[in-house]
Structure 1
Amino acid sequence: MTHPSPEAFPTRVCVQSRECSPGILERLAGSSLFPERPIGAAIVSALHRPGGSVVCLSAPALADAEEQVGYYLRLGGATTPHRDDPRPPRSRVTLLSLDDLSFRWLSQKLLDPDRAEAAAVRAELAALVEAERTAGRGVLLCQFEPSEPLERLADSLGIPLDQAPSWTIPMGTKTAGRQLFQRLGIPVAAGTPLVHSLEELAAELAGLVRAGHRRFVLKLDSTAYGAGMGNAFFTVDDARAAADDLPAAILAALPEAQVMDPKLGWPGFVAGVPVAGVLAEELLVDDNDNVRSPSVQGRLGPAGAVIVSTHEQVLAANRQTYTGSAFPASSEYRARIVEYTERVGAHLLAEGIDVGDYGVDFIVIDRDGRQHIHGCELNLRATGTRHGFDMVTTLLGVRPDATGELRVDGSPRVYVASDGITDPRYVGIRPAALIDAIEHSPLHYDPVRREGVVLHLLSALPEYGKFGAVCVAETTEGAARMLAELELLALRVADQAHLPL
């Protein structure tokens, strides 16, 4: 099936359900609010799209919803009707919400057959879609990742989706990505095949230890473990490496592995092995124990496989958890990782996948005076970089040039994006208060200079002391300074509100 161009759909229904394990979602702070991350970008993009409008679903509702929508309307420069669209700008943005704080997928909340509130929202959504179709506007359901529940929803509404079909979900596992990289000639870290018992894992690890490897990442092979939560670090010291029965020595030491998710722990990790399978990879670090993790984002569609953007991923101290990104990826290796990602895109098209975002994560290390690039993970979904990229490119009104960089009238633009600006002192801040502070601050995005800070994920502030932002500047150093100044601004807002710790 060939999908029409996105331009054929001025109206977008935004249901950004993150469909990893509900158990994992329960352990990630503010995870029920993750589907809110792209809403700001979706609103601003709609206002810049000819005849554009957007319907955004959330559960729970956005905190200070009208203040947030007003903020994005002002960012989008849409305070009065456009000459080509007589509708009031606010009428082009519809928020639908469910009073559901559970850690279920957003799609599950919306499609819950036993909740009258969910049925009412589905009916309202169907009426909105039908009204847009009657007005001659095409409607597209925008999702975060492949989803069988959202396929059922789209089918009931009679509209297409913007991501790959759900039969592709197994292609996003650690083993599938690793095998694909090897098939396409993309280097990968030394590793084991997929196994389903600790005994098999110990035997396979023994071969890697004999080859000189000592530090590993153990990975449960399931898309249900997001943010590296299904990973564990494991080290084989020299004494164990010299054991006569090396597999037995490794098996005895495996319970010492440091599981990324402390609430999962080693018992929970072991329980996942026979179900998901497990593999081990060499822990890649350079001679100074550093690592860089660039990523490339592509899009599958009528034009084929198109490279959209590159980023440096910002990882937490554990080197596994994504917290943000910096655009673009380093020019040292940007061309090489783009070429590798083009290979992946061509393969996906050959497999019959002709719609959706895809991303390839890499590990880059410097050893022996040489740069080594390794394919790390294939993501058949939007990835955490998309909302920042969409926001920035819409506000700037430009797309990356042939070098993969953003330029405004010849002047470069880069940005630093974060989904994890957090401090316990921020707890209790209302989104409206931070919006007011940023709009009266020199940090606020300036549409003339086309630099500044844009906020998102604001509903996580009151309870979790957490929010996100994109900082746009001419240099990465300038964007990083904006981010540091934003953190101080949030502290001043907390102080003015006299929030207790």
Structure 2
Amino acid sequence: MITNIPFGEKYAGLSIFEPSEGTLVVVPSLSLPQDELRRIKAARSYEERLLFLLLTLRAPGVKVIYLSSAPIDPDIIDYYFAFLPDPDDAAKRLTLITLDDPWSQPLTRTLLGRPDVLERLRGEIDGDACLVPFVLSELEEELAASLHVPIYGPATSFAYYGSKSGAREIGHEAGVPMARGFGDVRTALEIEEAIESLPGERVIVKLNDAYSGLGNAIVTKADRSLISFSAGDETWEAFSAKIRERGAVVEEYIEHRPLYYPSALAQVTPDGTARVLATHDQVLGGDSGQVYQGCTFPAAPEYRAEVGASAGRIARVLAERGVVGLFGMDFFALKADAGYAALLCEINLRIGGTTHPYGAATLTTGAVYDPARGLLMAGDRPKHYTATDNHASACLRGRTPGEVLRAADRLGIGFDHERRTGNVFHLLGAVPEHGKLGFTSIGDSKEEAEELHALTRRLLSGL
């Protein structure tokens, strides 16, 4: 049994967004169900989602070791360094370690089988350090134990709370409203009984450990052959096998329209302090309209406060149970007789899609979250942003990251360091092969951020 290394008192209040010293060992391994991961275009490039942590090198006492399964284009590293006051000094405190094996996934599993790389990694850790995983699995715990460093993330012993069934348990304890439903169903009989017990014409079945909405199925009660899967190539036979293996929840399908999809990002520091960092409105798409595509900050004012309050209660419950690190919570929001209601949908006990936009926005603008208003404030000026992980254009395929970044500057859609507005690009490694990238458009108002985002999409699609 692997025992997690505890944080020392010195780092009891550590936030990975604002470390003052020490080494961040960043392991962006996609230690997730590989069958669903293969459905995501340019999935391996999602290892670059944590590159925003290079911006923490602004603090002269911070060192970053960043691992990847394939080399990261030097132009991408230089791009992040350009946000820092002393790029040359930052470069001395960054160590990039690649396995040069892009097709062997997940990264951590391959790393554990490479004693030469592990030995180099141990040699690079100097003084206090912590491991920052994209996803925390037993693989990352084994790696941290091998390096003898603590992990900034929820231990695998808490993994159940990040499942769809576990989220319902935490939501009940926190007193947060949820759709009616049943957790921990596995057999055909349990699924059938749950479907018949719920109101409405349709129900939604969600795999316990799926992500990005890819493990969802909408079932029509009157005709069980009418099933809409988030993953277009899914079948009920294969889906049922996953239910038996992983478990699932069956919930009433919220037919109310309009329906909104806010989320919250929270953090528990090693001393047990729980904080809500941001609320967002998610942008969803895909075959069933349930797959994460991007987000806007902040969530709409009609339900922002309720989402933030519910997220705070959930974060405190998780902190009391011993969870440490970053995690997200997804909600449904709808108009009710007494205003807007926010219902907990799921807890993602890991770094998620809104983490990079939040990190990019705060680390480039210096903005600080004001929980009373639910806004990011840079001095007396609020910052808003609109972000995507999924801008793809055929005209980008074959281009290099450097070419795209230079074109963005030429077109005036880069970042204005004086105004602290503009675009922060990511997932640039997916450009050459897939013509895909992500970007966070930051403005001083919702309208400015949205206009810049729309303009950027048009211009990038016309390169």
TM-score scaled by length of structure 1 = 0.85
Is it true that 1:45 corresponds to 2:32 in the alignment? Answer: no
Give the 5 Å matches for 1:444-483: 444-483=414-453
Match 1:34 to one of 40, 46, 70: 46
Q: Is the 8 A contact 2:186 2:244 kept in 1?
A: yes
Counterparts in 2 of 1:154 and 1:277: CA distance versus 1, 3 Å: closer
Q: Which runs of 5+ in 1 are unaligned?
A: 81-87, 241-252, 494-501
Is it true that 1:125 corresponds to 2:115 in the alignment? Answer: no
Match 2:242 to one of 272, 293, 305: 272
Q: Compare 428-437 and 101-110 and name the one that shifted more.
A: 101-110
Give the equivalent residue in structure 1 for 2:461: 491
Q: Is the 8 A contact 2:168 2:183 kept in 1?
A: no
Match 2:311 to one of 322, 332, 341: 341
Give the equivalent residue in structure 1 for 2:102: 101
Q: Is the 8 A contact 1:192 1:280 kept in 2?
A: yes
Compute the displacement of 1:195 (Å): 2.3
List per-residue Cα deviations over 1:339-386 (Å, max 9, x = no partner): 212221221222233x21122211001255742211111121122111
Q: Is the 8 A contact 1:255 1:266 kept in 2?
A: no
Q: Is the 8 A contact 1:33 1:60 kept in 2?
A: no
Give the equivalent residue in structure 1 for 2:251: 281
Counterparts in 2 of 1:231 and 1:2: CA distance versus 1, 3 Å: same
Give the equivalent residue in structure 2 for 1:69: 77
List per-residue Cα deviations over 1:121-140 (Å, max 9, x = no partner): 222211111xx22xxxx222
Q: Which structure has the highest strand share of the two?
A: 2
Compute the displacement of 1:310 (Å): 1.3
Compute the displacement of 1:74 (Å): 1.0
Q: Is the 8 A contact 2:26 2:65 kept in 1?
A: yes
Give the equivalent residue in structure 2 for 1:54: 64
RMSD: 2.0
Compute the displacement of 1:8 (Å): 6.3
TM-score scaled by length of structure 2 = 0.91
Q: Is the 8 A contact 1:31 1:103 kept in 2?
A: no
Match 1:290 to one of 251, 255, 258: 258
Q: Is the 8 A contact 1:27 1:263 kept in 2?
A: no
Q: After TM superposition, what 4+ stretches of structure 1 lie above 3 angstroms from structure 2?
A: 367-370
Is it true that 1:141 corresponds to 2:137 in the alignment? Answer: no
The AA in structure 1 aligned to 2:79 is: Y
Q: Is the 8 A contact 1:19 1:147 kept in 2?
A: yes
Aligned-partner Cα distance in 2 for 1:266–1:219: 13
Compute the displacement of 1:439 (Å): 2.5
Give the equivalent residue in structure 2 for 1:244: none
Match 1:15 to one of 16, 27, 33: 27
The AA in structure 2 aligned to 1:374 is: L
Q: Is the 8 A contact 2:20 2:62 kept in 1?
A: no
Give the equivalent residue in structure 2 for 1:351: 321
Give the equivalent residue in structure 1 for 2:3: none
The AA in structure 2 aligned to 1:159 is: V
The AA in structure 2 aligned to 1:350 is: E
Compute the displacement of 1:193 (Å): 4.1
Aligned-partner Cα distance in 2 for 1:153–1:431: 31
Give the 5 Å matches for 1:50-449: 50-62=60-72, 65-80=73-88, 88-102=89-103, 104-111=105-112, 113=113, 118-129=114-125, 132-133=126-127, 138-208=128-198, 211=199, 213-221=200-208, 223=209, 225-236=210-221, 240=222, 253-286=223-256, 289-301=257-269, 302=271, 304-317=273-286, 318-353=288-323, 355-367=324-336, 370-401=339-370, 402-449=372-419
Identical aligned residues as a percent:
28
The AA in structure 2 aligned to 1:165 is: A
The AA in structure 2 aligned to 1:68 is: I
The AA in structure 2 aligned to 1:119 is: P
Aligned-partner Cα distance in 2 for 1:188–1:369: 17
SS in 2 for 1:400: strand
List per-residue Cα deviations over 1:398-450 (Å, max 9, x = no partner): 21124221223322210111111112332212111001112233221111111
Aligned-partner Cα distance in 2 for 1:346–1:329: 21
SS in 1 for 2:461: helix
Q: Compare 360-369 and 139-148 and name the one that shifted more.
A: 360-369
The AA in structure 2 aligned to 1:22 is: Q
Counterparts in 2 of 1:16 and 1:79: CA distance versus 1, 3 Å: closer
The AA in structure 2 aligned to 1:44 is: L
Q: Which structure has the highest helix share of the two?
A: 1
